[in-house]
Amino acid sequence: MYKDLIKGFSVKENPTILAIESSCDETAAAIIDGERNILANEIMSSCREHVRFGGVVPEIASRAHVTAVSQVVEKAVISAGKTLKDIDAVAVTYGAGLLGALLVGVSYAKSLAYALNVPLIPVSHIRGHLAAAYLADKTLKPPFISLLLSGGHTAVILVKSESDFKILGETLDDAVGEAFDKVARVLSLEYPGGPNVERLAKDGKDVVPLPKMLKGEGGYDFSYSGLKTAVINYVHKIEQSGGEVNRADVAASFQRAAIDAPVNAALKALEQYGLNTLTVGGGVAANGYLRDSLTEKCRDKSIKLVLPPKPLCTDNAAMIASEGLIRYRARDFATLDLNAKARVDLDFVR
């Protein structure tokens, strides 16, 4: 039985890890080695199929994963110049995300690990975003501050070790990526909302008055609900009076408010904890305004900034493999009763 084999699995110093990611509308597979060299990072997206619906349709995404998962794994293996016999472990995103989509990846990964007789490694999508920093800088060592900016989470995190985290502050309601998508709909922008808000903002000015984001005494918690509501009210008020909304100005003002708050909080955390390294993870880390702002501010303060390339910020399997390597070395292996979870909490100390 596979369950009985787990205790006997050996941990290699330089393993070849294959990872599968299927939490939303990207079906992805990647292969890395024990030094976190990316040997392959393949993605097949169903994004175009969701545009006309204004967002991801879970049923469509799940069907797309069923069609694509074996193809993307095969592409990754070929691209890496490997065969399946070279794979030492299979890592897979088990949560958080769309349950049906996750189940496709988890089911395939379980079957593959069983067939290859190698460890199955369960990976949190959120931890994967954080672990992308180790791919961007192989010399990176904790402790450091990490800024998590994704569709489901927004947090400032003290990273004590590769597996020991402390949340200094997080969103009290909407996540930053979720806020971008909601504002995009208010501005009649197509899915995906984040990139389209960013493009529109380039033609606008930060002139719309919006509420502050930071909440609480510590100054590390955020509230995006008020910001989102303020944008909605501003747009509706002008439209109801027969005026014309300067959508570019709204986008620019929102983008700055949404991003400046977590950036400033992260810089404050670096100073408070006497650290000099900042990493950023999550889909919103691909935002150009964020990247330019952080690069400039960190340069001025002589802070080491580890900002993964844009393809490693959005959903991908290389980040899952990076976290998978951490779990592999800790012998955090799953049995074949591993199940997908739509929600995975940030199980870090608060």
Spatial distance between the Cα atoms of 323 and 338, rounded to a whole number of angstroms: 17
pLDDT tens, per residue, the chain with 350 residues: 667 678 779 899 999 999 999 998 899 999 999 999 999 999 997 667 766 777 777 787 789 899 999 999 999 999 999 999 999 999 999 999 999 999 999 999 999 999 999 999 999 999 999 999 999 999 999 999 999 999 888 999 999 999 999 999 999 999 999 999 999 999 999 888 899 999 999 999 999 999 877 665 567 898 899 999 999 999 999 999 999 999 999 999 999 999 999 999 999 999 999 999 999 999 999 999 999 999 999 999 999 999 999 999 999 999 999 999 999 999 999 999 999 999 987 765 54
Fold match between 2-130+314-329 and 142-310? yes
Q: Are 16 and 82 in contact (CB under 8 A)?
A: yes
Give the start-to-end residue ranges of the domains of the chain. Answer: 2-130+314-329, 142-310
pTM over 0.75: yes
- The pLDDT of residue 216: 56
Amino acid at 276: N
Specify the CATH number for 2-130+314-329; select among 3.30.420.40, 3.40.605.10, 3.40.50.720, 3.30.70.920: 3.30.420.40
Q: Are 166 and 349 in contact (CB under 8 A)?
A: yes
Q: Are 312 and 129 in contact (CB under 8 A)?
A: no
Q: What is the CATH number of domain 142-310?
A: 3.30.420.40
